[in-house]
Amino acid sequence: MLCLAAVTMDLYTFVTSTLCTLILPVLLVISAVKLWNLYCVSLRDWSCDAPLPPGTMGLPFFGETMQMLLYRKRFLQAKRRQYGSIYKTHLFGNPTVRVMGADNVRQILLGEHRLVSVQWPASVRTILGSQCLSNLHNAEHKEMKRVMMQAFSREALDTYVPVMEEEVRSAVKSWLENGSNVLMYPAIKRLMFRIAMRVLLGFETWEMENTLDQPMVDAFEEMIKNLFSLPIDIPFSGLYRGLRARNRIHAIIEQNIKEKLEKEPERSWKDALQLLIDHSKKNDKTVDLQALKESATELLFGGHGTTASAATSIVTFLAAHNEVLQKVRKELELNNLLSTKPEDQKDLTIEILQKLEYAGCVLKETLRLNPPVPGGFRVALKTFTLNGFQIPKGWNVLYSIADTHDVADIFPEKEQFNPDRFLTPFPQDASRFNYIPFGGGVRTCVGKEFAKILLKIFIVELCRNCDWELINGTPDIKTAPIVSPVDNLPTRFKPFNGAI
């Protein structure tokens, strides 16, 4: 009897242990999922008759953030195929509606301050800071944008062109002298960073040569990589690493700001940071050092990351489409810009660049197929309907630039790289929201003219000096946080011999 009792007790212990070890966690997971689903259902606005968009909300707390970060392109393509141009999801800790297509995007971009307001994910707001242009609202945004636009006026851009050309020409020369493989994406990022440092922040060449630029480039790489992270600031998390990189950048910029505060600029033109400093000193205001650091960081982020992405795409497309490259060179020849002797090459001006219509078409087509920034974030200020679905107050709205280009009916054979499509102007109403590489509405990119001029200079210097081939062929592309080649685009250069 004692043995039977012992066996029974052992069996009871085993069963209890098994239940606790296996079944209880399963029940907890099921309960968590049920509670999550109830929470997601409660997020809709029951005072609105329109249904929520189709879609799924993913895992408790995490939503579908991990799928988005790990499999962005495939994840988004699958969502679009399954749910169409408007669908719900849960990203970066918030319920989100993703939107694409000209008509839908028009309502979002023109609804600023009325239906929606800009609100990037918490990690982006934390890393870039609350006082940079991207995170300001209403009158503060309008005033800051007015000041920054002075740095991108026609007069200011005229003074930037020689600096841009000098830096691009020097970089192209170094690629030709290398004699072997060049990892183009890192090389172009360094080039665009140097230009942004000189033109937008007023750093001198000797300052960057004194080992300044590479630590800054590395810090920016780390910051950008962790911009879109879960909002968890603990050691070794993405947000933690992004903030540490941001602090290294701020330390260098702070020194530059203090030097500017102590002496008047010697050059005839004012860089964007100097304009912000002058504005902050107006009416004897106390200079807000933190706000200046955040604005300067944003200028560098916008001034080099997106242009580096676009320039790398230009190298890729022209390498794959020799007939387009020859048309660019033909246009350069017609404008007396094709000399392969550096001493005979005409210096560029805005007037000359404006004459290069086909080079402009190459740039437009590049930005259509590979817009550097895939989209933008907003938050619903009130519940409203979009294409028959409700967007509840407080939900994030993520509008897609890349997908809007993909579904635009005004572009036949959308997958083809064909700059000629832009030689005939589209009706303004038809193209306004079908083609939005720089966003739209009151949040249109303030530096878009700066970017266009810089990238045209890049096209000219590249095409009149180099022939090149992609060692790995056309690369796979990653789209977050900025469009870039997975393999860094190893490229072999040789001098252009002048024959077209």
pLDDT at 93: 81
DSSP string of 207-271, one letter each residue: HIIIIIHHHHHHHHHHHHHTSS--S--STTSHHHHHHHHHHHHHHHHHHHHHHHHHS---SSS--
Exposed (0-12), middle (13-18) or buried (19+): which is 477, by Cβ within 10 Å? middle
DSSP string of 438-492, one letter each residue: T--GGGS-TTHHHHHHHHHHHHHHHHHHEEEEETT-SPPEE-SSS-EETT--EEE
The domain 128-495 is placed in CATH, from the list 3.90.1150.10, 1.10.357.10, 1.10.630.10, 3.40.50.360, at 1.10.630.10
Beta-strand runs (E) in 310-409: 375-380, 384-386, 389-391, 396-400
- What residue spans define the domains of the chain? 128-495
Total number of residues shown for the chain: 500
Q: What 8-state DSSP symbol labels residue 63?
A: B
Binding-site residue ranges: 445
What residue type is assigned to position 310 of the chain? A
Cβ neighbours for 322, distance < 8 A, ≥ 6 positions apart: none
The answer to whether 380 and 397 have CB atoms below 8 angstroms apart is yes
The answer to whether 397 and 116 have CB atoms below 8 angstroms apart is yes
Radius of gyration of the chain (CA): 26
How many Cα neighbours within 13 Å face the side chain of 181? 10
Bridge partners of residue 468, in order along the sequence: 493
**Distance, CA of 398 to chain centre:** 14
Q: Report the distance separating Cα 483 and Cα 369, nearest Å.
A: 11
Exposed (0-12), middle (13-18) or buried (19+): which is 186, by Cβ within 10 Å? middle
**Residue numbers of the chain with a pLDDT score lower than 50:** 2, 211
pLDDT at 2: 47
Write out the two tokens for 126: 């934390």
Q: Report the distance separating Cα 225 and Cα 375, nearest Å.
A: 16
Binding-site residue ranges for heme: 445
What residue type is assigned to position 450 of the chain? F
Q: Report the distance separating Cα 403 and Cα 419, nearest Å.
A: 19
